[in-house]
Amino acid sequence: MYDVARLAGVSQTTVSFVVNNVASAAISQETRDRVWAAIHALGWRPNAMARGLRTRHSQTLGLISDEVVTSPYAVRMILGAQEKAWAGSQMLLVVNTSGQRDIEQTALQFMLERRVEGLLYATMYHHEVEPPPEVRLVPTVLLNCFVADRSLPAIVPDELQGGYTATEALIQRGHRRIAFINETIPMPALFGRLEGYRQALANYGLPFDPTLVRHCHSNAQDTFAVTRELLELPDRPTAIFCFNDKMAMGAYDAIKRVGLRIPQDVAVIGFDNLELIAAQLYPPLTTVALPHYEMGQRAVELLQTLAAGEQLPPTQHFIPCPLIERASI
């Protein structure tokens, strides 16, 4: 900046005023032009570290996530966060801990040293977490997870509404015997979606038939078997709500194998909206989307208002899961 000042024949202060467009400073247009010309001539660029040191603002948010691998579309969460941060001209520091506690700990230290203005603590599937206590030193928003005592604001998908929406979509197309193939591992998604399924049935005056609710691991192979069982039931279900799209893949195979058609004979609805699967299956899979992108955005939005000093209670935000209509119901 001193070099620029010298070349433009002004003081370093003036350069700073011009660069930052300081309202309280009166600088003639002619001087401004000279300063900018000098800046371009020298290729000067502000040093964010020096600026940050003085202003005490890093213009940086940190994102600590456990895994990006399991569900690739959860990446859209990061994307949503990044784009929102970007819109607020902040950068996002991303660290993936691979679920290792020590990495998480040092990542946190690193971020605090860099004076991040807020922290996103994200997980790739919706579950309870116990983040290190230091996260409370800085505004923090949980993404796709929550703490037992709900003492930190969280952005999570509305599993119940999602389950309700899927079931309702089937009911509205006239289905009355709707099977639900649920996950086996206890997790919010399992309980939430089941509850949504029950509420939808109840709301439309349909009975809850426990024989129609099955559990298996969420892969195509296991679901293939479970689906065949369901199809052999005396009063065969006309629709299957699968816990996720991977399961739907297995269900498709099973239905086709016994010579039934989708959706004419058996309708299938999934969950997750994994484009890769849902759009490639034949017929394309109707499913419920996890609103990852929007969750990322909302989380940063919230973080930004918190970082601005606003005092808010640690609300748990449930983001609705929209129905993605394709051709399987």
- Which residue ranges make up the site for DNA (CB under 7 A)? 1-2, 9-14, 16-17, 19-20, 22, 25-28, 30-31, 44-47, 50-51, 53-56
Q: Which stretch binds a copy of itself (CB under 8 A): 27-35, 198-206, 215-223, 321-329?
A: 215-223
Question: What is the smallest separation between the CB atom of 171 and a copy of itself, expressed in angstroms?
Answer: 28
Least distance in angstroms from the C-beta of 79 to a copy of itself: 6
- 82 makes contact, choosing from DNA, a copy of itself, none, with CB < 5 to 8 Å by partner type, with a copy of itself
In the complex, least distance from residue 31 CB atom to a copy of itself, rounded to whole angstroms: 23
User: Alpha helix locations (H) across 29-100?
Assistant: 29-42, 48-55, 75-87
Q: Output DSSP code: residue 144.
A: E
- Minimum CB distance to DNA, residue 42 (Å): 10
- Here the tokens at position 45 are 């660029």
For a copy of itself, the closer of residues 209 and 275 by Cβ is: 275
246 binds a copy of itself (CB under 8 A): yes
Query: Which residues make Cβ contacts (< 8 Å) with residue 278, sequence separation at least 6?
Result: 245, 248, 270, 272, 284, 285, 287, 324, 326
Nearer to DNA, 17 or 224 (CB): 17
Considering only 249, 255, 262, 303, the residue that binds a copy of itself (CB under 8 A) is 249
Residue with Cβ nearer a copy of itself (29 or 89)? 89
Query: Which residues have a Cβ under 8 Å from the Cβ of 178 and sit 6 or more positions away?
Result: 167, 170, 171, 197, 201, 206, 212, 237, 238, 239, 240, 241
What one-letter code names the amino acid at 251? A
Residue 214 interacts with which of a copy of itself, DNA, none, CB < 5 to 8 Å by class:
none
Question: Does residue number 282 form part of the binding site for a copy of itself (CB under 8 A)?
Answer: yes
In whole angstroms, give the CA distance from residue 180 to residue 208.
Answer: 11
CA 236 to chain centroid, in Å, comes to 36
Residue 225 C-beta: closest distance to a copy of itself, Å = 11
Mutual orientation of helices 29-42 and 12-20 as an angle, nearest 10°?
A: 100
The answer to whether the CB of 295 falls within 8 A of the CB of 143 is yes
Distance CA 252, CA 236 (A): 16
Whole-number Å distance between alpha carbons of 193 and 54: 50
Q: 304: closest CA among 112, 94, 84?
A: 84
Among 12, 256, 258, 305, contact with a copy of itself (rule: CB under 8 A): 256
Question: Does the footprint of a copy of itself cover residue 94 (CB under 8 A)?
Answer: yes
Q: Which does 17 bind (CB under 5 to 8 A by kind): a copy of itself, DNA, none?
A: DNA
Piece of the chain touching a copy of itself by CB under 8 A; list 15-23, 113-121, 180-188, 312-320: 113-121
The CA dihedral of 42, 45, 47, 51, to the nearest 10 degrees, is 110
Minimum CB separation of residue 280 from a copy of itself in Å reads 4
The counts of H helices and E strands in the chain are 12, 12
Q: Does 233 bind a copy of itself (CB under 8 A)?
A: no
Q: Which residues here bind a copy of itself, judged by CB under 8 A?
A: 45-50, 52-53, 58, 68-69, 72-73, 75-76, 78-79, 82-83, 86, 89, 91-96, 98, 103, 107, 109-110, 112-115, 219-221, 224, 246, 249-250, 253, 256, 274, 276-277, 279-282
